């Protein structure tokens, strides 16, 4: 097992939860409490964003507190690469994309499920918009 490390967290670099244009998300844990977390690392492309912009984005994300938005727990430095990593609560229920991509939902969600998703998305969006002011 190859571990990435920051001051308070460690993550298994063989356990990728997701990957995007700017980096990867790994399953990790708090070194003392062993609380499971998700750790997002950033690649070289993401490093092209000015540092002050990234810091401002991290601060804004830290302020958001809503049950429908993944919580940002910490911003730390990877001890190996010295780049920033963000530590988030670990959500194991899968993504909305995974649910929509399920063949059982190839014609869309049932109306009741769709309304629940729409309500949750709207509440999360409203919360994140109000946190920016």
Residue that is written with structure tokens 């540092």 in the block: 51
Higher pLDDT, residue 2 or 74: 74
Residue that is written with structure tokens 């993944």 in the block: 70
Positions at the binding site: 40
Specify the pTM. Answer: 0.73
Long-range contacts of 93-100 (CB under 8 A, 24+ apart): 95/18
pLDDT of 36-87, one tens digit each?
999 999 877 666 666 666 677 777 777 777 777 788 999 999 999 888 899 9
List the chain domain ranges.
1-91, 93-133
Residue 28 has pLDDT above 90, yes or no: yes
3-state secondary structure the chain: CCEEECCCEEEEEEEEEEEECCEEEEEEEECCCCCEEEEEEECCCHHHCCHHHHHHHHHHHHHCCCCCCCCEEEEEECCCCCCEEEEEECCCCCCHHHHHHCHHHCCCCCHHHHHHHHHHHHHHHHHHHHHCC
Rounded Cα gap, residues 51 and 2, in angstroms: 28
Positions at the binding site for ATP: 40
Residue 131 has pLDDT above 60, yes or no: no
| Domain 1-91 = CATH 3.30.200.20 | yes
């Amino acid at each position: 097992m190859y571990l990435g490390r920051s001051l308070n967290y460690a993550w298994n670099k063989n356990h990728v939860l997701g990957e995007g244009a700017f980096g990867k998300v790994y399953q990790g844990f708090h070194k003392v409490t062993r609380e499971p977390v998700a750790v997002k690392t950033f690649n070289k492309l993401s490093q092209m964003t000015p540092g002050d912009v990234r810091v401002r984005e991290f601060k804004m994300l830290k302020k958001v507190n809503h049950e429908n938005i993944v919580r940002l727990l910490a911003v730390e430095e990877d001890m190996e690469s010295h780049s920033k990593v963000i530590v988030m609560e670990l959500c194991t229920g899968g993504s909305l994309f995974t649910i929509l991509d399920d063949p059982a939902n190839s014609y869309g969600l049932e109306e009741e499920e769709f309304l629940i998703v729409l309500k949750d998305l709207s509440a999360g969006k409203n919360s994140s918009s109000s946190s920016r002011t």
